[in-house]
Amino acid sequence: MTTTLPLTEEHLSKLNGGDLVRPDQLLGAHVTQQGGVTGVRFAVWAPNAQHVSLVGDFNGWNPFSHPMSHPNGGWGFWSIFVPEAQHGQTYKYAITGPNGQTVWKADPYATTSELRPKTASVIWQDQPYFWGDDDWMSTRDQGTHTPISIYEVHLASWMRREDNWYLNYRELAPLLADYVAGLNYTHVELMGVMEHPFDGSWGYQVTGYYAPTSRFGTPEDFKFFVDVLHQRGIGVLLDWVPGHFPTDEIGLANFDGSPLYEYADPRKGFHPDWNTYVFDYGRNEVIMFLIGSALRWLEDYHVDGLRVDAVASMLYLDFSRNEGAWIPNIHGGRENLEAIAFFKRLNSVVHHRAPGAIVVAEESTSFPGVTAPEGLDFDYKWAMGWMNDTLAYMAEDPIYRQYDHHKLTFFDVYRTTEKFVLAVSHDEVVHLKHSLVTKMPGSWYEQRAGLRAFLGLQWTMPGKKLLFMGQEFAQRDEWNHDQSLPWYVLDYPEHRGVHDWVRDLNALYRSHPALHASDHTEAGLAWIAANDTRTSVYAYLRRDEQSGRWVLVVLNMTPVYRPGYWIGVPEAGTYRVLLNSDAGEYGGFGTMQDDLKTCSEEAHGQPQHLKLNLAPNSVLVLELL
């Protein structure tokens, strides 16, 4: 149950001063008692408004019925207690701005809203929920030395009913838990489950920062969803958008008749690419609003982490702006110092209040120290450079890959500068970018072999993993947010084979510490063969620094069969194949190895070597017996 704080001068002053990290316990609609009478207390921040009144089901939407007043000295807040208001009723604030114009606004702190296209907030008294995930919550960690493998999901299009309407949170929970557990993923990441008015925004233009979208049910339904996944051993991450918000009149835009949540100067406060407003990170009440939103999900809904969208757009004042269309900081630089301070505060508060939760930055530049404690202090950063280089390499005609050979090795130059997630997200399979399998050149067989090789590379390189839904079974069409994934293709062996390859990659990744325990150290990766540009063959060791155990990974990135290829190894003995992307069960030819005993001749600077039969577009993972 969410705590309700009294509207005292002390609490209002703390919020005004940036020292109340759960402002939702003070503002919004709270079912409570005053003078022994049960009703609903409403409170809203609108310091520049001339007048604010409450409209809703309880007063016939009459803007003259319930005028709000300033509690305890004001501080820019308005409140009212309404005995006749009840749980489940809808409401808005009628706000008259400095110019005398009145606009009806949804509650920024609403815990649930009407189903779009309706836009009213809903009075919601948190219902008792008895969590069953105590074991999960007490043992979860941030994954520094443990595996994190993330399945990115858009709930509205992962699976739908036969009439193409949404499944609800309670229907989705066991279906998604079964599927993700069957693929051996450790986490899911949910796109766009915070309330938003437009389906086509995928949830990235948020109007309800404290509200699970009503498309799939109630707040208690969402708790059930998280609880079920936790009980199956699956973590839940959410996409979170503190960088910008939509211009919809019912939302945060010009909330009290003037810029309030956004910077007043459009050179800082308006994002030209997305037609959205940028939060004002210099206002304490805005910072508390955002941090309170993060904590609402982490504390009340037991969410395990947040993936912060579009971090670069927040860090740089000139992001996507022409010369002269941005304002330098006080030192004349391009960094948004207020946003930097916000990230440091956010991550400090999250690490203190939500043990084991993680915060991940989608940051596309080389901003220093994103995951450093003395920097922005995120737990992880998406490896955008790795993704761009690797996908560009894989899309090339294999005959030309020899000229871009080091696109696959360049990551090693900087991989320990941050703690990375190797992410291949929804952004890579929309807007005519093609699905992952159809990015690969060649025939349908070669495309699937190329996809398996790419996934093998992703899962054996240092860094946590993320893959967008549908790519795990070689979906051929681009993602369509208006319809379900084409689940019928799993009846076909060529799609089922890729699905099973991802399942087994995850199983190997989770069971072998060499593939995850030393992701962020130099010792975690050692190249054996990094320069054979003629054949496009690569080989490297993944190591667990603590135990000294290692596995050998060999990639052949052309559609050429290479029998008896020498690969240097550091120790003599007999090796065994742990995974082979060319195995028949995955849709390959089933290339066999003639002999996995080492030969004493030196190769690749190693004292011993193996003679391996390298199938076209394939990955081998081996270990010493």
Active-site residue, selected from the candidate residues 24, 362, 504, 544: 362
Beta partners for residue 279, in sequence order: 262
Residue with tokens 């560009």: 392
SS3 (DSSP) at 453: helix
Residue with tokens 């009846």: 491
Count of beta carbons in the 10 Å neighbourhood of residue 162:
6
Q: Are 216 and 172 in contact (CB under 8 A)?
A: yes
| HEC secondary structure over 576-591 | EEEEECCCHHHCCCCC
- CA–CA separation, 188 and 179 (whole Å): 11
- CA–CA separation, 258 and 278 (whole Å): 14
Beta partners for residue 270, in sequence order: 277
| HEC secondary structure over 7-50 | CCHHHHHHHHCCCCCCHHHCCEEEEEEECCEEEEEEEEECCCCC
Q: Residue 85 corresponds to which amino acid?
A: A
Active-site residue, selected from the candidate residues 309, 379, 472, 504: 309
Beta partners for residue 95, in sequence order: 52, 103
Task: For 147-301, list the strands marked E by DSSP.
Answer: 149-153, 187-190, 194-195, 208-212, 235-240, 245-246, 270-271, 276-277
Beta partners for residue 610, in sequence order: 567
- The yes-or-no answer on residue 285 being catalytic is no
Residue with tokens 């309404």: 82
- CA–CA separation, 195 and 116 (whole Å): 9
- CA–CA separation, 191 and 214 (whole Å): 14
3-state SS of the chain: helix, strand, coil percent to 5?
30, 25, 45
User: How are strands ordered across the β-sheet holding 525-532?
Assistant: 525-532, 537-543, 550-556, 618-624, 575-580
- CA–CA separation, 104 and 96 (whole Å): 9
- Structural Rg of the chain based on CA atoms: 27
- The yes-or-no answer on residue 362 being catalytic is yes
- CA–CA separation, 214 and 111 (whole Å): 10
Residue with tokens 């975690």: 524
> Whose CA is closest to 608, among 566, 579, 578?
566
Residues known to be catalytic: 309, 362
